[in-house]
Amino acid sequence: MERIVIDGPRRLFGEIDVHGAKNSALPILAGSLLSGGETVLHNCPRLTDVDAAIEILRVLGCTVHRESNSVTINSDTMTQSEIPEELMHEMRSSIVFLGAMVSRRAHVRLSFPGGCELGPRPIDLHISALQQLGVLVDETHGILDCRVENGLHGAKIMLAFPSVGATENIMLAAVTAKGITEIHNAAQEPEIVDLANYLISRGAKIRDAGKSTVYIEGVASLHATEYTVMPDRIVTATYLSAAAATGGKITVHRVVPSDLESVLPVFEQAGCKMRVYHDAITIEGPGMLHAVRNIRTLPYPGFPTDAQAPVMAFLTVASGTSVFVETIFENRYKHAGELCRMGADIKIEGKVAVVRGVKKLYGANVRATDLRGGAALVVAGLAAEGKTRISDVLHIDRGYESIEHAFRTLGAQIDRETITLDKEVPRA
């Protein structure tokens, strides 16, 4: 078992690069299955979720080779049509493999996905959409048995909610289906655009990705490609939150500022000085942070639910009261209780979190309950007085590449240590 230990507070200073986006790399890795051939993927982050996706590709028979942050996948050798249950349970986004698999195989089987427990995230939208494309789905005891008897065909699909995963699954299945597919009320996240650009680089015909209606004209096959994954906008928001919380000054490189248009105003309202460049952002925290009255999570281009936790962490030490409204996931406030163990004043009622700023946070023994909640505890620990020990860091490793190394480059006193259960410090 591992934990992260932070000795704070320390103001962060310096420059740092952002690694590739987890939420972009995963569907692109799934897309490497399409039509066979080779994909060389650059800026592919070293994350446990990415490792799980690569293992799925290997189990399906693909040849995968990683060298530094580049991954080469050859799916000509795909021989299997079933993903083992234990691999599906490692990450919730594993369901995105379904759309790519049914485009290659007439019969596939996989179980419901796992990952962070954020409340119901039903895959009904995925299944309904794929059924409209010609997939026959039999769901029994958590196993999806999917058959394609007469090939996939285009369809007009109206999503009840702009689900990122469902939009990705439709795109992956539709690019080699016969005819034209229209996705109405499609997700508009930058990661959707990145997936579309990857597929287009392989010869797919996709129009208006990133808009509410996406058009896909099926092609007979795709070809090999070399592609670079976009930067991770949530990791960027986490670095900015840590700088704000510690009153530091950092420059984050390899970013796409336009992807953060709903997030950057929050830092400005809190009193941070911001300078935005073509592919970099400089932030300087003020002597005293100010509360932000209302932050409501929404599908893109609204404020991202994944940024809610790290932003909440820095606002725990802002003067005044900040209010969050979480509209995407039901259980997205699990980190609030852990922040309160560090001295934060947070009250939760349903979808609303009221954060009353305190003068100081204090180091404590806390537990990462999910990916972004774990990142929030790191942000808080960097600003807290004394030692913060964060357990269950496997959640953090799903989306952050060696987070302790990243913050050490900015001057933080943060380390990872291996512990045994009998030596673990109690959560007093």
> In 30-77, at which residue ranges do the beta strands (DSSP E only) sit?
38-42, 63-67, 70-74
Instruction: Report whether 22 belongs to an annotated binding site.
Output: yes
Topology alike, domains 2-19+231-423 and 22-228 = yes
Token output for 183:
């996705």
C-alpha to C-alpha distance for 32 and 121, rounded to whole angstroms: 25
CATH class of the domain comprising 2-19+231-423: alpha beta
Q: Is 272 a catalytic residue?
A: no
Token output for 130:
């794929």
* 97-104 vs 124-132: helix crossing angle, rounded to 10: 30
DSSP 96: G
Instruction: Report whether 123 belongs to an annotated binding site.
Output: yes
Q: Residue-wise pLDDT tens for the chain (428 aa)?
A: 899 999 999 999 999 999 999 999 999 999 999 999 999 999 999 999 999 999 999 999 999 999 999 999 999 999 999 998 888 888 767 899 999 999 999 999 998 775 444 444 468 899 999 999 999 999 888 889 999 999 999 999 999 999 999 999 999 999 999 999 999 999 999 999 999 999 999 999 999 999 999 999 999 999 999 999 999 999 999 999 999 999 999 999 999 999 999 999 999 999 999 999 999 999 999 989 999 999 999 999 999 999 999 999 999 999 999 999 999 988 889 999 999 999 999 999 999 999 999 999 999 999 999 999 999 999 999 999 999 999 999 999 999 999 999 999 999 999 999 987 665 555 64
Which of 139, 195, 142, 140 minimizes the C-alpha distance to 166? 195
Q: Which residue of the set 116, 146, 272, 340 is catalytic?
A: 116
Instruction: Report whether 279 belongs to an annotated binding site.
Output: no
- For 407, phi then psi, to 5°, come to -75, -25
Which of 41, 87, 31 minimizes the C-alpha distance to 66? 41
* pLDDT for residue 330: 80
The three-state secondary structure class of 354 is: strand
CB atoms within 10 A of CB 40: 18
Residue written as tokens 């040849």? 63
The answer to whether the pTM exceeds 0.75 is yes
Instruction: Report whether 121 belongs to an annotated binding site.
Output: yes
What architecture is domain 22-228? Alpha-beta prism (3.65)
Taking the domains of the chain in order of start, what are their residue ranges? 2-19+231-423, 22-228
